[in-house]
Structure 1
Amino acid sequence: MVRDSWRAIRDRLSDEIASGMLTPGTQLPTEPELCRMFEAGRHSVRRAVTALAIEGKLRIEQGRGTFVEAAPKLNYHVGRRTRFRQNLLSQGFEPGDETIAEDIVPASAWVAEALRLHEGAPVHQLLQRSLANGVPISLGFTFQCATRFPDWAKLRRQGLSITEAYHAYGITDYMRNSTSVHSRRAREEEAKLLQQHIEQPVLVVRKVDIDMDGVPIGHSEGIWAASRVQFVFDGAENIPIRSRRRRRKTK
């Protein structure tokens, strides 16, 4: 094969995915089998597969093999009353979440500021993985005041959604007060938990939720698989007032 044979392998596999010959979830042949199929060396096959994994068309699972990406592409709507379950169910996806770690920790300076607590105040810190149709789409650290919500971690372990857990404390409605989004490269453990290539980017979403009295009740930092989600910000109500003011003309 020629020096750039990996490109031909990449393009052929990409075409087969696009045409439906390789359907989502299909496991690719092993590396030696691919070498025989394409009459190419391991380096060319490995490079082609890696390129498609970075593009989000293939998913490499350590110890299991390489699969055609089956992750859904979500249009995740962000508004004043953003709800994870409603977002997914409205698009026909089954929502799910898994608690990976939980603890009560002293609030750091930035968590305390977000929740209007004293630095060092006890807060629940949960690390959870969210799924759509069983496929990981995000990781998230969430923080709630341990004094106001003493059994928060227990309620979440029992399978209650965030909205249902707030209901248990008499909070029948809440709104998103702020949202910020930026991108960066995935870290090794994040890529592993999201089942994506480490060179694929992630979207970091930080938000603060408030009750109907304007008191912060939750703060989170979500790490989203960028190839599996597109954020849609609904309505001008999400734009801070100061950013909508017109600058006065100077004379």
Structure 2
Amino acid sequence: MRDSAPGKTPIWKAIADTLRSDLAEGRYRPGDKLPTEALLAERFGVNRHTVRHSLSALVDEGLVRTRRGAGAFVAAIPTDYPIGKRVRFYDNLVAAGRAPEKRILHLTERAATEGEARALGIEAGAPVCAFHGLSLADGQPIAVFESLFPLSRLPHITATLQQEHSVTAALQEVGVTDYTRASTRLTAVRATAAQALHLQVNEGDPLLRSSGVNVDTQGVAVEYGRTWFAGDRVTLTLEG
């Protein structure tokens, strides 16, 4: 594909149009990695700079996202994620027509910091179970999270979470039949290197951090959770 003549569509724009058509026709699914710049340059008979220009246009349109050192990926349609008194990861994604999945990254017991203890209504330094994980929708990571549970109230929660990745199911196993969200706080932050690795974004990309406390039917705190959502993959909806 040669440079365009005066008055003709620029080559980079023609390539972007072709790739846009590929996406519209479903040749690539959300989350799929696109061919490398070298392969695209070979396909269209241009240099990599021209291909990069085309991809940048698709990034600006929100159709493609790039990750330094990893390449270009098809951007997913943001997942609707309600945040209200009854936040349930599995139910939220199923209602949005997505397949939910959770992966354990780290599960340990440690001492609560002052801020964590204040949120849970326990003494600073009291033991908590820290559950770090990755939330996915249709196989694509959408959030990393840390959930803290007071061991004085839920002594068997760590072993239960090792067997049951669902927080709701694990809480039911240890006697918490129901729980609701007592408070939620949303903050815009930048992705750390570790978060970027898990979420397949660039370090410094915008994330939405949700912090919340869940309480049982007696109003006693059973979980303090922090979730970092990939900003371009979810639409958070606050419910009354």
TM-score, length basis structure 2:
0.83
Picking from 25, 28, 51, the partner of 1:20 is: 25
User: Does the alignment pair 1:97 with 2:96?
Assistant: no
Tell me, what secondary structure is at the counterpart of 1:227?
A: coil
User: Does the alignment pair 1:84 with 2:85?
Assistant: no
Tell me the equivalent position of 1:173.
Answer: 178
Confirm or deny: 8 A CA contact 1:183 1:203 kept in the other structure: yes
Task: Map 1:7-46 to 2 at 5 A.
Answer: 8=13, 11-12=16-17, 15-16=20-21, 19-20=24-25, 22-25=27-30, 26-46=32-52
Structure 2 counterpart of 1:85, which letter? Y
CA shift for structure 1 position 72: 4.8
Count of aligned pairs between the two proteins: 232
Separation of aligned partners in 2, 1:153 and 1:54: 44
Structure 2 counterpart of 1:233, which letter? L
User: CA offsets per residue over residues 33-84 of structure 1, 9 Å max, x none?
Assistant: 2223444433443455466457653355788754423x45211111211111
Tell me the equivalent position of 2:7.
Answer: none
- Please tell me the root mean square deviation across aligned C-alpha atoms, in Å: 2.8
Q: Cα gap change, 1:27/1:74 in structure 2, threshold over 3 Å: closer, same or farther?
A: closer
Tell me the equivalent position of 1:229.
Answer: 234
Separation of aligned partners in 2, 1:143 and 1:97: 16
CA shift for structure 1 position 8: 2.8
Separation of aligned partners in 2, 1:216 and 1:10: 55
Confirm or deny: 8 A CA contact 2:208 2:228 kept in the other structure: yes
Tell me the equivalent position of 1:75.
Answer: 80
Q: Cα gap change, 1:172/1:143 in structure 2, threshold over 3 Å: closer, same or farther?
A: same
Picking from 123, 147, 169, the partner of 2:128 is: 123
Confirm or deny: 8 A CA contact 1:54 1:200 kept in the other structure: no
Structure 2 counterpart of 1:191, which letter? A
Confirm or deny: 8 A CA contact 2:104 2:165 kept in the other structure: no
The percentage of aligned residue pairs carrying the same residue is 31
Separation of aligned partners in 2, 1:127 and 1:184: 18
Separation of aligned partners in 1, 2:190 and 2:56: 16
Picking from 158, 168, 171, the partner of 1:153 is: 158
Picking from 196, 209, 212, the partner of 1:207 is: 212
Separation of aligned partners in 2, 1:75 and 1:146: 33
Picking from 58, 67, 71, the partner of 2:64 is: 58
Q: Cα gap change, 1:119/1:20 in structure 2, threshold over 3 Å: closer, same or farther?
A: same
Tell me, what secondary structure is at the counterpart of 2:232?
A: helix
Unaligned runs of at least 5 residues, structure 1: 236-251
Structure 1 counterpart of 2:137, which letter? A
CA shift for structure 1 position 23: 2.9
Confirm or deny: 8 A CA contact 1:177 1:207 kept in the other structure: yes
Structure 1 counterpart of 2:35, which letter? P
Confirm or deny: 8 A CA contact 1:54 1:197 kept in the other structure: no
Separation of aligned partners in 2, 1:55 and 1:105: 44
Confirm or deny: 8 A CA contact 2:15 2:44 kept in the other structure: no
Structure 2 counterpart of 1:125, which letter? A
